Amino acid sequence: MTDKQPTANIHSFESLATLDGKGIRYGIFFVGCPFRCVYCHNPDTWSGEGKRYTVDELVKKIVRYKPYFGKDGGVTLSGGEVLVQSAFAAKLEKKLAKEGIGVALDTSGGVPLTDDVKDALSHAEMVILDLKFWDDEHYVRYCNGSISTVLDTLEFCEQKNVPVWIRTVMVPGINDKKECIDKYAETVRGYKCVKRYQLLAFHTMGFSKYEKLGIKNPLEGTPALDRKRLDELQAYLDAKEITNE
């Protein structure tokens, strides 16, 4: 009999990572993304066929790392945009929960709140939500998308008490100014679910992928954001005390 279990289209894995969530993480990067951010450093995850896995196959891979997760660690589902494959993500979260393994969902918030998306969000231990910009005008110009689904995602997490870490990439010449930080802060102020807000520095390590894929790099020539400027902007944001950890 053929195996009828649904499969997910997976781009890659990262074992024993520490960046996306608490503690030691096992990262799974899903293929597909509704946005086209000009500063994306993973254009190779936007579309195409990666490798197909069933939930059981992934759980088998992940449980081998369970001894390393400790109290805080677990799995981070990322991409691309994991919620493009939300039904699969929800199934995986539920199966991992039975193994005592928590899941962080790293999302751009670019997918409308279908029942499957809500299911995946509500079964996450926490959500890492990228806030690219503060209004539709900038989302349209720089991400080919809209802020509305992002705000809907944040609102849903608020209602369901899912802890959220917000992240924003600071890009030189686009959003690396204090006036921009003021707008980001006002966008998330008042949400009790927001536990952290971390700014990330734009870097140029993804540039070679554009060349390899033959895609025009919209930010060619843009320098990486330097660490000192990032620290200044983070301190400016932190002083606004908008998080609730």
* Secondary structure element (H or E) that encloses residue 214, with its range: none
Which CB, 59 or 131, lies closer to ligand SF4? 131
DSSP state, residue 152: H
CB of 114 to ligand SF4, least distance (A): 18
And the tokens for 195? 């536990």
Q: What is the spatial distance between Cα 182 and Cα 163, in angstroms, rounded to a whole number?
A: 22
Q: Quote the tokens at residue 138.
A: 């900038």
Binding pattern for the stretch 122-141 against ligand SF4, x by CB under 6 A and - elsewhere: --------------------
Stretch of 28-36, 152-160, 190-198, 227-235 contacting ligand SF4, by CB under 6 A: 28-36
Residue 133: CB partners within 8 Å, gap ≥ 6? 139, 142, 143, 147, 175
Which listed residue (10, 33, 105, 225) binds ligand SF4 by CB under 6 A? 33
Q: Applying CB under 6 A, which part among 36-44, 93-101, 189-197, 212-220 lies near ligand SF4?
A: 36-44
In sequence order, which residues have a C-beta less than 8 Å from that of residue 144 and are 6 or more positions away?
35, 36
Strand partners, 106: 128
Using rule CB under 6 A, residue 222 touches ligand SF4? no
Identify which of residues 129 and 193 has a Cβ nearer to ligand SF4 in the complex. Answer: 129
**Phi and psi for 217 in degrees, rounded to 5?**
-90, 110
Nearest distance, CB of residue 146 and ligand SF4, angstroms:
13
Determine, following the binding rule CB under 6 A, whether residue 36 of this chain makes contact with ligand SF4.
Answer: yes
Coarse DSSP helix, strand, coil percentages of the chain, rounded to the nearest 5 percent: 40, 20, 40
Which position among 7, 13, 14, 42 is part of the footprint of ligand SF4 (CB under 6 A)? 42
Binding-site ranges for ligand SF4 (CB under 6 A): 33, 35-37, 40, 42, 45, 79-81, 108
